[in-house]
Amino acid sequence: MTSSPSSSTPSRTATSSSTGLRNIGGADPRRAGAVLALGIVSRNSALVASDEAPPDLDSPLPAPPAVPETLARRAVVLVGMPGAGKSSIGRRLAARLGLPFVDADAEIEAAAGLPITEIFARYGEPYFRDGERRVITRLLAGPPLVLATGGGAFADARTRAAVRDSGALSVWLRCGLPTLLRRVAGREHRPMFLNADPRAVLERLIAARHPLFAEADIIVDCTDEPPEVTTRRVAEAVAAHRAPQTLPVGLGERGYDILVGTGLLARAGALLAPVLPTRRVAIISDSDVAPLHLPALREGLREAGFAILAEHLVPPGEKTKCFAATQAALETILGAGADRRTSVIALGGGVVGDLAGFVAAIALRGLPFVQVPTTLLAQVDSSVGGKTGINLSLGKNLVGAFHQPRMVLADTGVLGTLPPRELRAGWAEVAKHGLISGDAFWEWCERMGPAAVAGDPAALAHAVLESCRLKSAVVAADEREESEEGGRALLNLGHTFGHALEAEAGYGGGLLHGEAVAVGLGLAAALSARLGHCAQELPGRVIAHLQSVGLPARIGDLDRPFSATLLLQRMRKDKKARDGALRFVLLKGPGGCFTAGDVPAEQVERLLRDEGCGA
């Protein structure tokens, strides 16, 4: 933007610094802090006289002018470097939105009765930042407004948290160094530019602050275009912004959020920075996913100042979940210098998520862990809940650990790159959640399943959101699957049959996990009907839905023979079995799932034989 008299930042020198000094008690920073923590004070308000008592800090804040209800949704906080145009753009944006405009620096100076330069000189930056945060917090606690912050405000971790917690929409006005240099000319009175080379100061601040500014909700690149043009672009970005849906997994200190939306890979660093101990990560992905999505994740992390210590790629497919792949990943990550504050990011489907989560659980006795699922199956199921593990020749997921992620980033935009077979396989877990959830979600699955597996973005987003909503609630109630009846075990609907089929098929890719689960759902419904637990028409309804989306739903739909005896042996070794007894999740109807440990083996064998299995 070009500078002009109308867009230049007015002087922020207080009207009477001597009066202000008496009010803050000379050099006593405790009394100064009391005045600095005041609520909204207009720069035109008279300062408190020296012989008056300090203002009541708990008095109600004056209300800004009324705003039309349609616009009074969220505060907008402009952040950026000195010279980014926060004040000039802020005034114009406020006029467009019909909101009041407030300059945080001006409010601080008016409240303290001192120019910011003098506050810095007398009490130091830590004291100033603390007061700045309290003023910003108070401003954002009131009705919506457009707030221009000082250049260093958003670089303070507590201030960033306060902006985030207030529900305000933060916008970074990102400017290049040449533009900033032209705009800061003549600002030698500002604390950071006193007796210093502006270029050197800006280069240092850019290196330190840009990764922190990247945590803003919206980033708008600013040039030397007229301020009205930049204002229009900011307003359009604000109007178009769609925050990801957030679903909390309530596990106390181990709780975390599932974020569902589009474009999350490009925002990964900004979204993860507040929940990870450091900005040091190692990424585990597979050789199919990495070329498609690793560049976006890499850039999203680096924009927020993350250091990627290692990128470890594994072959795709269930066979990767083994001890050899686990050891190789551990050696790569630890060999790159990972410590106990380094986070492991899983970028991929269920195989990568299970393997990377297990690696994180056992490396250095536990590293922070993030799930970035890229398949429908992983987004709706395996990425949520903290189950990690690898396979043995005896069966699936027999070695593993419960290790909850710090966050799950379910970017539904990446589902458009899935092969049709993978998308269909993921739908099996959605159908499972529909049967567990009840009539409303199950009937939606029956109605919208074909559109979803055809790639309809809205249908896929709804499937992910509702599946995660169900699973997060179940996991919060029964994290370690310890409930004797029901609880997290219900999420294994179809899996006792499905895991046995997978193990017999040899994990070679001929039978995908979701395909095995789909057949397992059909078998579970059929077994439930044979035992008299559900209506006789339910199995046909389940099978018809699965086949309508292109999934196998019966053993006969699989192009290979199976032995009923061998499948039963697999089921007895399943991790859900107790004392060698078979355990199944059965159905009374949609929303009526229950666990059963008294299913006669002969009934299961008869069903398998009737479905076409050999001896």
User: Which residues are annotated as part of the binding site for substrate?
Assistant: 105, 129, 151, 209
- Contact residues for 96 (Cβ-Cβ < 8 A; gap 6+): 231, 235
**Catalytic-residue membership of 492:** yes
- Contact residues for 97 (Cβ-Cβ < 8 A; gap 6+): 71, 76, 146, 235, 238
Closest-CA residue to 105 (of 136, 60, 140, 65) = 136
| Secondary element (H or E) of residue 398 | strand 395-402
Displacement of CA 478 from its chain's centroid (Å): 22
Q: Write down the residue that tokens 């209300």 correspond to.
A: 63
CA–CA distance, 421 with 377 (Å, rounded to integer): 11
**Catalytic-residue membership of 513:** yes
Which of the following is catalytic: 513, 545, 570, 583?
513
Annotated binding residues for Zn(2+), written as ranges, equal: 429, 495, 513
Question: In a 10 Å sphere around its CB, with 0-12 CB exposed, 13-18 middle and 19+ buried, how is residue 529 labelled?
Answer: buried
What token pair was written down for 339?
A: 């410590």
Which of the following is catalytic: 321, 495, 545, 570?
495
What token pair was written down for 577?
A: 């079995």
Ordered DSSP codes for 89-145:
HHHHHHHHHT--EEEHHHHHHHHHTS-HHHHHHHH-HHHHHHHHHHHHHHHHHSS--
466-470 long-range Cβ contacts below 8 angstroms, 24+ apart = 466/433, 466/437, 466/441, 467/379, 467/380, 467/381, 467/429, 467/430, 467/433, 468/247, 468/258, 468/260, 468/379, 468/380, 468/384, 468/408, 468/410, 469/247, 470/433, 470/436, 470/437, 470/441
CA–CA distance, 456 with 605 (Å, rounded to integer): 40
**Catalytic-residue membership of 570:** no
**Catalytic-residue membership of 432:** no
Which of the following is catalytic: 133, 279, 298, 387?
387
**Catalytic-residue membership of 495:** yes
Which of the following is catalytic: 429, 502, 504, 611?
429
Closest-CA residue to 406 (of 294, 281, 315) = 281
CB distance 440 to 448 below 8 Å? no
Annotated binding residues for NAD(+), written as ranges, equal: 350-354, 374-375, 387, 396
Ordered DSSP codes for 207-237:
HHHHHHHTTSSEEEEE-SS-HHHHHHHHHHH
- Contact residues for 317 (Cβ-Cβ < 8 A; gap 6+): 351, 507, 508, 509
CB distance 140 to 147 below 8 Å? yes
CB distance 501 to 562 below 8 Å? yes
Residue type, 271: L
387-392 vs 395-402, strand pairing mode? antiparallel
**Catalytic-residue membership of 241:** no
Which of the following is catalytic: 91, 471, 545, 570?
471
Closest-CA residue to 147 (of 159, 162, 136) = 136
Q: What is the b/e burial string over 339-373, where b = at least 16 CB atoms within 10 angstroms of the residue's CB?
A: eeebbbbbbbbbbbbbbbbbbbbbbeeebbbbbbb
Annotated binding residues, written as ranges, equal: 83-88, 105, 129, 151, 190, 209, 350-354, 374-375, 387, 396, 429, 495, 513
What token pair was written down for 456?
A: 């309809």
**Catalytic-residue membership of 499:** yes
Which of the following is catalytic: 30, 365, 484, 602?
365
**Catalytic-residue membership of 228:** no
**Catalytic-residue membership of 433:** no
Which of the following is catalytic: 91, 107, 492, 583?
492
**Catalytic-residue membership of 576:** no
518, 519, 520, 523: CA torsion to nearest 10:
130
Q: Considering just the CA atoms, what is the radius of gyration of the chain in Å?
A: 29
Catalytically active residues are 365, 387, 429, 471, 481, 488, 492, 495, 499, 513
